[in-house]
Amino acid sequence: MDTTQETIRLGKRCFVGNLAWKTSWQDLKDKFREAGNVVYTNVMRDDDGRSKGWGIVEFETPEEALHAIQSLNGAELGGRRILVREDREDRDIKQLIGSTEVQRAPRPARGGGRSSANGGRGAGRGRVGAAAEGAGESSGLQIVVQGIPWSYTWRELKDMFAEIGNVERADVVTSSDGRSRGYGTVKFTTKDAAEAAVTRFHESELEGRRLAVFIDRYQ
């Protein structure tokens, strides 16, 4: 693939649909703080002041917006399951030159977002779930884990998945102030172990949080 013909830009804003009529901008902000630092929210209303059932959330970084899409799409707010996707009106949203569509997995913010500590051989190098230019197919060895308890470091994450198979490395993504963003990656030495981890832990509960576990498409 000729990567010189491709430009990727990430937006900081999310479109949120299927909102309950009573949902306010503050409700939206409180919910989306789970994904990162929210700088702006708005619930669209008609001339009579009634909600149109959709709104906009803007984050500090594009990575936080992407994490919101990954972790909150289908979440419950005000008794409804909300739709979360990229705001297509945001000029900063990815733009693709050519016909190749690129999908993205969560990754830390530029200048921050490294794991709080390194776990396993080579841990802490590179980006969590990032798609490198010209990257091929997934190795099938690494999983993305969302909904990690806020207190968890790479060590707790590694210990948790060690019961499944041999873990080569584990990383928990943190913000620039060192606080966990609630997601990370675990790399196994075999594909079978990675697939077993998805089967065992996806949609399970851990310390009051529901995990989302899936194969990392870019590692």
My answer on whether 124 and 155 are in the same domain is yes
From CA 90, how far away is CA 13, in angstroms rounded? 7
Residue 17's domain is classified under what CATH number? Answer: 3.30.70.330
Domain membership flag for residue 99: no
State the residue range of the domain holding 126.
104-219
DSSP 153: -
My answer on whether 119 and 208 are in the same domain is yes
3-state secondary structure 80-142: EECEEEECCCCCCCCCCCCCCCCCCCCCCCCCCCCCCCCCECCCCCCCCCCCCCCCCCCCCCE
Our count of domains for the chain comes to 2
Q: Closest Cα partner for 104 from 82, 135, 150, 81?
A: 135
Give 75-94 pLDDT, tens digit per residue: 999 998 998 988 766 543 34
From CA 183, how far away is CA 4, in angstroms rounded? 31
My answer on whether 139 and 215 are in the same domain is yes
Per-residue pLDDT 10s for the chain (219 aa) are: 333 333 334 578 899 999 999 999 999 999 999 999 999 999 998 888 888 899 999 998 888 888 998 899 989 999 989 989 887 665 433 432 232 233 333 443 333 333 333 344 333 333 444 333 334 577 899 999 988 888 889 999 999 999 899 999 999 888 777 788 888 899 999 999 999 999 999 988 888 888 899 988 777
My answer on whether 219 and 114 are in the same domain is yes
My answer on whether 78 and 120 are in the same domain is no
Q: pTM of the full predicted structure? A: 0.44
Domain membership flag for residue 31: yes
Asked which of 52, 86, 120 is the last residue of a domain, the reply is 86
Contact indicator for 219, 139 with CB cutoff of 8 Å:
yes
My answer on whether 76 and 117 are in the same domain is no
